Amino acid sequence: MDLFAKFLEDRGPLGKWSRTAHGYYTFPKLEGELGSRMQFQGKEKIVWSVNNYLGLGNHPEVRKVDEEASRDWGLAYPMGSRMMSGETAYHEKLELDLAEFVDKEEVLLLNFGYQGIMSIVDSLLTRQDIVVYDKDCHACIYDGIRMHIGKRLPFEHNDTESFEKQIKKAKVFQEQTGGGILVITEGVFGMRGDQGILKEIVAHKEAYGFRLLVDDAHGFGTLGATGAGAGEEQGVQDDIDLYFSTFAKSMASIGAFVGGDSAVIEFLRYNLRSQIFAKSLPMPLTIGNIKRLEMLRTRPEFKDKLWENANSLQKGLRDRGFDLGNTSSCVTPVYMHGSVEEAMVLVKDLRDNYDIFCSVVVYPVIPKGMILLRLIPTAAHNQDDIDQTVEAFTSIYDKLKSGAYAKQAELIKPE
């Protein structure tokens, strides 16, 4: 059988919709200046699908630094991996600034979040080690765990009892293998918006002797008194052994970092395959990230505005009876009941007739029969954006419950 032949018969649970969805539901083109309102198919929409939490992505000061760094250095510099020929004083400065901000001895800069945390998990674990992780962890963590050939023990999402059960199993396996135990969770879960049970997990560290890795992509810059993330918010930053985050959310950029004790970071610096064998982060991105971090640290008004908008949006939706689950972050999930086909009709109505653009999540990402509309408020939104969105959601939800979308959904089938 030809390797590619099977793809003609089975394009995957999402791929089967590609010919129906491509260009509109999937791979849509948002155009124009980055902001709370952008162009989609030639018409202005209120956009809730951009992770530009603090509004830094299009801030004039940031744009100026990005422009100057691109002019001065170009996109090629530095060439080669950092280990071989790509080290600069700017890369080192960004690491030092990050380490001070998240209160870790040392930080290692990473080119990308997804490949970075995959490689971290792969580097830390041997076949003798055991990994215990929250079932709702991001796909990048799952992909890292899939490379681990030792014991893998998932616990039910944010379930303390399930965690305790699995960590006890891990301790038994540890006695058999002589390895170590790594626990992985997230500071904020990007779909649900709830924070990880960091305090509850940390409470078991002394008894079970595990190490804790936290992916705080959505918490960094948005949570905590200074914006240092979910660990600061919950008062357990010192107990997080490896603190990971990406620049793709609150800093609206490219890159990521991991912080921890110097000895562990040194090990990762010399063993992290995704960095050793990859080109160094380009200078304009590095310098631009230094500027973004400076603004994040010294301009609390951005985080204040973000939370003003998030609180207003979430209150407005809850007051209208919407189910937002257990979100305790700016991530605003709106749960509804309906089929994939109904979700497609609903989103088209929302975009075409109400000028609201937000992400829709359906099976297989969430259970069958559920629709999740995920809104990401930012500091760039305003009250008019929020009011218009709450009114639009009220209208489309009434249509969904009345069965109006179900009739149109009968005509939609995967090709």
pLDDT digits (tens, 9 = 90+) for 136-175: 999 999 999 999 999 999 999 999 999 999 999 999 999 9
- 60 near 35, Cβ under 8 Å? no
Judged against a pLDDT cut of 70, whether residue 115 lies above it is answered with yes
Q: Where are the domains of the chain?
A: 5-53+300-409, 60-298
Residue range 392-412: average pLDDT? 88
The pLDDT value given to residue 320: 96
Looking up tokens 């810059």, which residue turns up? Answer: 221
φ/ψ of residue 95, rounded to 5 = -65, -45
- 240 near 214, Cβ under 8 Å? yes
Q: Residue 298 burial (CB < 10 Å; 0-12/13-18/19+)?
A: exposed
How far apart, in whole angstroms, are the C-alpha atoms of residue 350 and residue 392? Answer: 7
Neighbours of 2 (CB within 10 A): 7
pLDDT in tens, 45-62: 999 999 999 999 999 999
φ/ψ of residue 284, rounded to 5 = -60, -35
Please enumerate in sequence order all residues whose Cβ is within 8 A of that of 6, keeping only pairs 6 or more positions apart, or say none: none
Laid out side by side, the sheet with 332-337 consists of 332-337, 370-375, 359-361
Residue range 32-41: average pLDDT? 95
Judged against a pLDDT cut of 70, whether residue 116 lies above it is answered with yes
Please enumerate in sequence order all residues whose Cβ is within 8 A of that of 406, keeping only pairs 6 or more positions apart, or say none: 338, 339, 342
Radius of gyration of the chain from its Cα atoms, rounded to whole angstroms: 22
How far apart, in whole angstroms, are the C-alpha atoms of residue 323 and residue 334? Answer: 6
Residue range 333-344: average pLDDT? 92
Judged against a pLDDT cut of 70, whether residue 219 lies above it is answered with yes
Residue range 342-363: average pLDDT? 93
| DSSP secondary structure code for residue 345 in this structure | H
Concatenated DSSP letters of 173-237: HHHHH---EEEEEESB-TTT-PBP-HHHHHTTHHHH--EEEEE-TTTTTTSSSSS--HHHHHT-G
For residue 411, name the pLDDT band (cuts at 50, 70, 90). Answer: low
Give pTM, 2 decimals: 0.94
pLDDT in tens, 378-398: 999 999 999 999 999 999 999
Per CATH, the architecture of 5-53+300-409 is what? Alpha-Beta Complex (3.90)
Judged against a pLDDT cut of 70, whether residue 414 lies above it is answered with no
pLDDT in tens, 270-305: 999 999 999 999 999 999 999 999 999 999 999 999
**CATH number 1.10.10.10 given to 60-298:** no
* % of the chain exceeding 90 in pLDDT: 87
How far apart, in whole angstroms, are the C-alpha atoms of residue 157 and residue 193? Answer: 12
Decide whether 5-53+300-409 matches 60-298 in CATH topology: no
Residue range 111-121: average pLDDT? 94
Judged against a pLDDT cut of 80, whether residue 133 lies above it is answered with yes
Tokens of 367: 């259970």
Concatenated DSSP letters of 105-127: SEEEEES-HHHHHHHHHHHH--T
For residue 367, name the pLDDT band (cuts at 50, 70, 90). Answer: confident
The pLDDT value given to residue 383: 97
| DSSP secondary structure code for residue 77 in this structure | P
Please enumerate in sequence order all residues whose Cβ is within 8 A of that of 347, keeping only pairs 6 or more positions apart, or say none: 25, 360, 373
Neighbours of 303 (CB within 10 A): 22
How far apart, in whole angstroms, are the C-alpha atoms of residue 257 and residue 98? Answer: 8
DSSP, collapsed to helix, strand or coil, labels residue 6 as helix
Residue range 302-314: average pLDDT? 98
The pLDDT value given to residue 326: 95
- 193 near 334, Cβ under 8 Å? no
Judged against a pLDDT cut of 90, whether residue 41 lies above it is answered with yes
Judged against a pLDDT cut of 80, whether residue 249 lies above it is answered with yes
Tokens of 278: 């990859």
Judged against a pLDDT cut of 90, whether residue 356 lies above it is answered with yes
**In angstroms, how far is the first alpha carbon of the chain from the final one?**
24
